[in-house]
Chain A
Amino acid sequence: MQTSRARLFKEYKEVQREKVADPDIQLVCDDTNIFKWTALIKGPSETPYEGGVFQLAFAVPEPYPLQPPQVRFLTKIFHPNVHFKTGEICLDILKNAWSPAWTLQSVCRAIIALMAHPEPDSPLNCDSGNLLRSGDVRGFNSMARMYTRLAAMPKKG
């Protein structure tokens, strides 16, 4: 209990200090609960997610950092490793490959890397995974771009 709170507080201070260091990630702590965080990440360039801003919700468990935070997409995203309805993320470092040396910031970076390099062989979104596995990169890209425009970009006009 005490360790996770102390560590999250230190991470919070770190985030405040390095706000300018990583312009693609904006990590905000809930005002009343240090175990709830939200993050805004920019879609990586040269992917169908480019130009979109995606919101992530972090739920930090009590034994953190010995256990990984639970992260899910609040913004809808068409990606093989993200559940289309719940936003659940299939990422090894959020499950068995978690290391206490990771931070919320580095989790965000890992998720950005996952967006740029989807792994269609362990899909949560079967439609998306099947498109990529059948080699229809163009179809996947257009679907993903469409959902990025619909959900992750500010509405114009």
Chain B
Amino acid sequence: MISDSITNASATAAPSARDFGKKKRTNRTAKLKQSKLGLRREQWLSQVAMVNKGGKEEMDANRKPGSEKSDQRDRPVVNLDGHQRGEEDDNNSGANRHESFMESLSNSPNSILSGMNSIPNFSSSSSSGSGGSCSGNITEEEDADDDGCLDDWEAIADALAADDEKHEKENPPEFSEEHEHENIQQSACESDVAVSRKQKSNQAWRPDDELRPQGLPNLGKQRSSPVMNFHYSSVAVPSSCPICYEDLDLTDSNFLPCPCGFRLCLFCHKTICDGDGRCPGCRKPYERNTVKVETSVQGGGLTIRLARSSSMFCRS
């Protein structure tokens, strides 16, 4: 999985690197900052993965306790992550989007944002590698949060540019050494920028090379598992009825008879209502009113019909 994430990251980053090739001079500093941010994130990720088993929010809070801007900083990163994944149905369309994004930003003085751009690259590719089938759901969820934040990009970019001045001084010495090295290497093989970028992403792991391979999968699990659980409990619909094992059709899968979220087909619900009338999931008696309310809350012609039919079941 780790190698997957590397190749993904370099694949998505490659077009943007080509774009850099046109304006190497002007964007040298931007690249530096980008790699710095990438490094810092990598180190922070592995630290968190080793030390802190907590959730993502905790990690965000830990990231930069010193600066006030860190919250503002982190939030757009996360949202951008979700946003890009939304566009990123496959690698090509995602790459195109990166390119246009970069072009529009590279002219502006706030080219630090291109550095920010690399962070979502890493996180989105790694988590889509590990998250697997649930990535679509994540996208929906995070897209909903996006709308407010993305309007404010210009202001955030300004704030970040100002913020980065501070960060440069705060950088620990071992990082600056690392950057020197990278800088030399970049100038050595400027003709093939994509290759140097690939090496650079390998180098970003060097400070804690031994920790990194362990840390990445752990993090992937951390990130994906709460989301998976969340969707399993509330959204995911089993493909077959857990009582009769018959496949759930469209009507059945929209039928939510109990607040505990246990789903079953209408036939089994009827037979249970005729009998002891308790939900197989939580063993609490089905509340007949709740059935109607639950279904009508969901709205739509289909579910209204459902409400009627289920009330008929209960009367019989």
Contact = CB atoms under 8 A, between A and B. Distances in A.
Interface stretch (A47-55, A94-102, A124-132, A149-157): A94-102
A47 B23 CA distance: 72
A140 B262 CA distance: 41
Interface in B259-292: 262, 267-268, 271-272, 275, 278, 280-281, 283
Q: Nearest 5 pairs between A and B by C-beta? A: A10-B245, A101-B280, A99-B280, A100-B280, A100-B243
Contact of A66 (B242, B245, B275, B283): B275
B190 interface: no
Contacts of B271: 3, 66
Contact of A97 (B246, B272, B281, B283): B283
B188 interface: no
B268 A100 contact: yes
Nearest to A3: B244
Secondary structure dominating the interface of A: loop
Interface in B217-248: 242-246
Interface string A1-22: 0010011001100000000000
A99 B275 CA distance: 12
> Could you say which interface size class chain B belongs to?
10 to 19
A65 interface: yes
Interface residues of A, number: 11
Nearest to A13: B245
Contacts of A6: 244-246
Contacts of B278: 99
Nearest to A14: B245
Interface of A: 3, 6-7, 10-11, 65-66, 97, 99-101
Contacts of B280: 99-101
Contact of A101 (B262, B267, B275): B262
B283 to A, nearest CB: 6
B105 to A, nearest CB: 52
A101 B245 contact: no
Interface centre among B244, B246, B281 (most CB of A within 10 A): B244
B99 to A, nearest CB: 47
A124 to B, nearest CB: 23
Contact of A65 (B243, B246, B262): B243
Contacts of B283: 97, 99
A66 B275 CA distance: 8
Contacts of A11: 245
A54 to B, nearest CB: 28
A101 B243 CA distance: 6
A99 B278 CA distance: 8
Contacts of A65: 243-244
A47 to B, nearest CB: 28
